[in-house]
């Protein structure tokens, strides 16, 4: 429901987005803003960790691939010298 001041109200009679008598924002709105900001930072940190973990896994796989390729190249060189 919307009151005459344009503010939404809930069934219990509390107004959402209301200001206190001094004209400042309500404490609930401030806490909600802080809570939202903290969760946004936590989400960004989790995303950064995921990206770094994915990069680490990719780098490890590439390293293993190169080590295997070098090993196979050495084995092939040994076989070709024995055959000659």
Q: What's the token pair of residue 34?
A: 């802080």
**CB-CB contact of 57 with 50 (8 Å):** no
Torsion angle, CA of 32/37/38/44, rounded to 10 degrees?
150
- For 41-66, what is each residue's pLDDT tens digit? 899 899 998 989 888 999 999 999 99
Phi (first) and psi of residue 21, to 5 degrees: -65, -25
Residue 35 lies in a domain: yes
- For 26-37, what is each residue's pLDDT tens digit? 888 888 888 888
Residue 41 lies in a domain: yes
The range of the structural domain enclosing residue 41 comes to 8-83
Number of structural domains found in the chain:
1
Torsion angle, CA of 5/24/30/32, rounded to 10 degrees?
-10
Give the predicted TM-score (pTM) of the model. 0.42
Q: What's the token pair of residue 44?
A: 């960004």
Residue 60 lies in a domain: yes
Residue 2 lies in a domain: no
Q: What's the token pair of residue 84?
A: 């000659």
State whether residue 19 is helix, strand or coil: strand
């Amino acid at each position: 429901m919307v009151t005459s001041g344009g503010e939404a109200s809930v069934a219990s009679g509390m107004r959402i987005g209301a200001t206190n008598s001094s004209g400042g924002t309500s404490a609930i709105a401030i806490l909600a803003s802080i809570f939202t900001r903290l969760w946004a930072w936590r989400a960004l940190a989790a995303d950064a960790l995921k990206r770094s973990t994915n990069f680490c896994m990719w780098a490890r796989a590439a390293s293993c691939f190169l080590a295997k390729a070098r090993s196979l190249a050495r084995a092939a060189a040994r076989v070709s010298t024995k055959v000659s």
